[in-house]
Structure 1
């Protein structure tokens, strides 16, 4: 049995945009699409799911479609459904969001707790509609990016587009101002060169998806800035998230929060396996 792509719907325009994106994604990966409406009490559930189903069928009429209403809080219902899903797809804002909020509380909570990749569909129509031809993935030093890199390669392969791999680094803060500290170049000597970090992270997935063209970018800038700039010409931005030590959920650090709130295109948060 093929696991589905699950999209949360609440009747908001943002959730309908998420349905549009998810229908295209389900078609691209030959997945069933499952629409989930969750609320403690909702008299409008049938109307919400009816409108979402109509959008999904219009966008991808051959995709196998199902729907479900759960009487639970939305974040818990989605996280539970994500335990057996290809990914969870959410709009960037929901019904009743506070004015000025850049990301809905449900989307943020699900991104921090889900066991599967979480897609927050945001940005203008040209970014949501895959008109740029680039998938961007953020690569960090260490092992935290492996699952995200494989996800990004698979996306680029399915879309027939280019993968842009970004590794950002900068000189340690205070390296030139603390007399007692070792020189910054001594600290950096114990680290792998940035280009090697990128090459090592990409090697396995690049061999598997040999047809995907790859652009490597090593940037001496804060990672948040580098990723947001790269995303300005992208259809999708993929970032990894480490699991909390001894606690449920993921470590959504400053970089992940920045892209979830400010990226100009859809963002995928991929839990490290």
Structure 2
């Protein structure tokens, strides 16, 4: 069965039109048909696209869902695909979707790994020495490097920028929102997804984190 890009029912609002345009562009990039949810033929959705108010899709659609936020507008500054990656438990499904999306767009992939100080840091009486913090950060950089290495080999044409940030996951991704054409994260949805939909200003792809 041929995969398609599915556009959920939208209205004539600015956000509805933006979601429809995004779905049309995605279908063109993937060279796939674009279908509405009430199309009679059976199909397999490569991507399902909707407005942020259609957030319930994240609980019902088994594949990748892209939600286009209120007020979204294309910008030439938005050139990157931004990936939120859990480098310790990387998901093949999420990484594959992000690398594939970057390749389709001829875009740079920004792979963002958020980390936190280990529990023992809280017990240090005079704060965290810079040497210790740098050592922990170097370890996080290596963890991300190893998580991405097989995907760099599979997609050698995709330029990858790795970023390891001592932020919460949402803060780390929002740090790159001004240049994000698309933010890709794993599901199931939670506080990170809700924050991105509210504050990122760009389409957010939520990919079920199975298969890795």
TM-score interval w.r.t. the shorter chain? 0.7 to 0.9
Question: How far apart are the structure 1 equivalents of 2:110 and 2:97?
Answer: 13
- Tell me what 1:220 maps to: 166
With normalisation by structure 2, the TM-score equals: 0.83
Q: Give, in angstroms, the shift of residue 175 of structure 1.
A: 4.1
- Tell me what 1:87 maps to: 47
Q: How many residues in Structure 1 have an aligned counterpart in Structure 2?
A: 200
- Partner secondary structure for residue 126 of structure 1: coil
Larger radius of gyration: 1
After the TM superposition, list the runs of 4 or more consecutive aligned residues in structure 1 that deviate by more than 3 angstroms: 172-175
Contact 2:77-2:179 within 8 A present in 1 as well? no
Point out where structure 1 has 5 or more consecutive residues left out of the alignment.
38-66, 69-80, 93-103, 180-184, 242-249
Q: Give, in angstroms, the shift of residue 31 of structure 1.
A: 0.5
- Tell me what 2:151 maps to: 205
Q: Deviations over 1:222-249 (max 9, x none)?
A: 11111012122110000012xxxxxxxx
* Greater relative contact order (Cα < 8 A, sep 6+): 2
Q: Give, in angstroms, the shift of residue 4 of structure 1.
A: 0.6
Q: Give, in angstroms, the shift of residue 177 of structure 1.
A: 4.8
Contact 1:9-1:16 within 8 A present in 2 as well? no
- Partner secondary structure for residue 104 of structure 2: helix
Within the candidate set 96, 111, 125, 2:58 is matched to 111
- Partner secondary structure for residue 176 of structure 2: helix
Point out where structure 2 has 5 or more consecutive residues left out of the alignment.
126-131
Contact 2:102-2:108 within 8 A present in 1 as well? yes
Contact 2:10-2:50 within 8 A present in 1 as well? no
- Tell me what 2:35 maps to: 34
Q: Give, in angstroms, the shift of residue 178 of structure 1.
A: 9.1
- Tell me what 1:121 maps to: 68
Q: Give, in angstroms, the shift of residue 173 of structure 1.
A: 6.3
> Is it true that 1:233 corresponds to 2:193 in the alignment?
no
Question: How far apart are the structure 2 equivalents of 1:194 and 1:117?
Answer: 27
Q: Give, in angstroms, the shift of residue 113 of structure 1.
A: 3.1
Contact 2:10-2:51 within 8 A present in 1 as well? no
Q: Give, in angstroms, the shift of residue 212 of structure 1.
A: 0.8
> Is it true that 1:11 corresponds to 2:11 in the alignment?
yes
Question: How far apart are the structure 1 equivalents of 2:106 and 2:37?
Answer: 29
